Chains A and B, each alone.
Chain A
Amino acid sequence: MKGSLAVIWAIGRKDLLLEIRNKDVVVAVAGFALLVLVIFTVAIDLNQANAKLVGPGVLWAGIAFAGVTGLNRAFALEVEGGTLEALMLAPISRDLIYFGKALGNFLFIAVAQIIVIPVFAVLFNLVVFRWEMLAISLLTTIGFSAVGTLFAAMAVRVRAREVMLPLLFLPVVVPLLMAAIESTSQVVNGRSWSDMSEWLQLAIAFDLAFIVISAFLFQHILED
């Protein structure tokens, strides 16, 4: 168990180190999501009433779309540098590679949200700094990286990977997006845990189901 965690952390740390040096993914994800928010503040005539109505949807649609661009990078570097073969040669179980890469993706999307959510609060004039929001954000990011890491490893082998990843990723995460949007709209309307418990349970179920099934299926992607 301790050895497995060390392997996962080693792979995650490698991605993190790369990211700290070139800041590719976080800047791309945060920048894209912020632009979605800005475009919607122009597209919709915002006032106090409809900001609460459309804000949560715009926020999570933006993060989902931006997340796809980040996930696209996750395996692109490994394939371009030929380092995926090196990872596969390592005497470690394949699902640990999955967890390591998923850990990296989780951290990138989470850090991007630390930038995006405060800007969202400012642009839409909504109160979102609550513990509930932290839970929603964490659960959604776990689900995104669980599904996204699996699909990114698949899409990277297709010539049109920029097209393929969103087509695979977005429909599958729709239930998680619904959970994030609905509970965020409870948050901006000032309600608390009990009003969103069903959605949070759904998000937890989604995360657990896809962590288990993705880790299991991932070995079939790297099999050669």
Chain B
Amino acid sequence: MTNKILNLFDPILIFSAALMGVALYMIFIWAPTETNQGAVQRILYFHVPIAWGAMLGIFVVSGSSIMYLWKKEEKWDRLAVASAEVGVVFGGLMLLTGMIWARPVWSVWWTGEAKLTTALILFFIYVAYLMFRAYFPPGAQRQRLAAIIGVIGAVDTPIIYFAANLWAQAHPPIITGPVADSDSALGSDLGTVLLVATVAFSFLFVYLVQSRYKIRKSEDDLVELKRASSASVMTGAG
């Protein structure tokens, strides 16, 4: 593995790009237009894989936060922050694509549906995670405290989902458009396109996290080098 951060010949990048091409072809040309929702339904072919990527991000952040608190190894912290950043970008795109799809299909941009509420709150928790890291001076303490937020987010997730579900029962979501429960009309075609697109986005996710991880590593190395050189200057002068 080369140390270069932007490696255009990275096999993961090449594979992801090739598969993304196939996915784009399938989404816009190969897949038939859904009869109830029309062309808008094609947004789901992006929305679902991006949402999957956002979920993957949360899993990796919680997992590596737990590993960091347990092992205290730098690599787990780097993995956590890398996947938090990529996960928040995927999460933002997930919310956006979801809203663009919902407006014509459900006739509202946003509603109190359980999955939507959960996704939005989790998005805010992970934005807070990144903001906390940005405010805090670098060092082992920042890594420990950030890992705590990662674990709290993981513990909160099922509680949020349960509450949002209960809440949606009390306040039925407003969905009045050409309702979306006829997804099955596309049958196996839908599944195939979604599968290809999800694999493509998963590899993109892995590539982005890996790049961010390497940048993080370089940043840490740089801090270390600066500290070492300033220490040697000091001893040289003394």
Contacts and interface: CB of A to CB of B under 8 A. Distances in A.
The 10 A-B pairs at the shortest CB distance, nearest first, are namely A175-B163, A171-B124, A167-B128, A158-B135, A178-B163, A175-B159, A171-B125, A217-B148, A168-B128, A220-B144
Contacts of B167: 178, 182
Given A158-B132, A160-B135, A171-B121, A202 B159 contact: yes
B131 A164 contact: yes
A134 interface: no
Nearest to B122: A171
B69 interface: yes
A158 B136 contact: yes
Given A175-B160, A213-B152, A220-B147, A198 B132 contact: no
B156 A175 contact: yes
B108 interface: no
Interface residues of A, number: 31
B159 A206 contact: yes
Contacts of B135: 158-160, 164
| B interface secondary structure, majority | helix
Contacts of B156: 172, 175
Size range of the chain B interface in the assembly: 20 to 34
Given A164-B131, A209-B155, A157 B121 contact: no
B152 A172 contact: yes
Contacts of B170: 182
Interface string B151-186: 111011001101110110010000000000000000
Interface string B123-138: 0110110011001100
Given A157-B145, A199-B166, A206-B159, A164 B152 contact: no
B151 A217 contact: yes
A210 B145 CA distance: 16
Contacts of A164: 128, 131-132, 135
A66 to B, nearest CB: 20
Interface string B214-227: 00000000000000
A172 B163 contact: no
Interface of A: 147, 150, 154, 157-160, 164, 167-168, 170-172, 174-175, 178-179, 182, 198-199, 202, 205-206, 209-210, 213, 217, 220-221, 223-224
B149 A175 contact: no
30 contacts: A154-B132, A157-B141, A157-B145, A158-B132, A158-B135, A160-B135, A164-B132, A172-B125, A172-B156, A174-B163, A175-B162, A175-B163, A178-B166, A179-B163, A182-B166, A182-B167, A182-B170, A199-B166, A202-B159, A202-B162, A205-B159, A206-B159, A213-B151, A213-B155, A217-B152, A220-B69, A220-B145, A220-B147, A221-B145, A223-B144
Given A167-B128, A168-B128, A150 B148 contact: yes
Contact of A154 (B124, B127, B148, B151): B148
A210 to B, nearest CB: 7
A47 B13 CA distance: 61
B160 A168 contact: no
Contacts of B147: 220
B184 to A, nearest CB: 31
Contacts of A167: 124, 127-128, 131-132
Nearest to A167: B128
Most buried by B among A150, A171, A209: A171
